[in-house]
Amino acid sequence: MAEEWWWTYLVIVVAGFVATDFWRWLGVLAGNRLNEESEALYWVRAVATALVMAVTAKLIVFPTGTLAHSPLWLRLGAAGIGFAVFLLSGQRVIVGVTVPIIVLIAGLLLL
């Protein structure tokens, strides 16, 4: 039984590939034929953006884990400051991600 320790990891890797990467590669192959200016693709982008924003809003307003111990005003303030700095920095994603984290950490340390 000890010689077969790798079997579980192999199943996880294969199942993970089939569940995610297979569909991603299929999307890449199918996506090469799409017109980037089509109405359908604008709709897909809008839906994807809305889903990301909905998850972000849920994490801010109804957090779980460690974030749930921070006050709402701190979470909202960090998000607002992060968004403002994101826009001021020329929409650099790394800035929009790191600034709210720094604001949250600073706010939690000061509380």
Is residue 1 very low, low, confident or very high in pLDDT (cuts 50, 70, 90)? Answer: low
Q: Give tens-digit pLDDT for 41-83.
A: 889 889 999 999 999 999 999 999 888 989 999 999 999 999 9
- Asked whether the beta carbons of 86 and 60 are under 8 A apart, the reply is no
- In terms of residues, how long is the chain? 111
In a domain, 52, yes or no: yes
Which pLDDT belongs to residue 21? 82
Domain range for residue 82? Answer: 34-110
In a domain, 11, yes or no: no
In a domain, 67, yes or no: yes
Share of the chain above pLDDT 70, in %: 98
The total of structural domains in the chain comes to: 1
Q: Which helix (H) or strand (E) holds 33?
A: none
Full-model pTM: 0.64
Query: What value does the mean pLDDT of the chain take?
Result: 89
CB-facing half-sphere around the CA of 5: CA atoms within 13 A:
2
Alpha-carbon span 3 to 1, nearest angstrom: 5
In a domain, 69, yes or no: yes
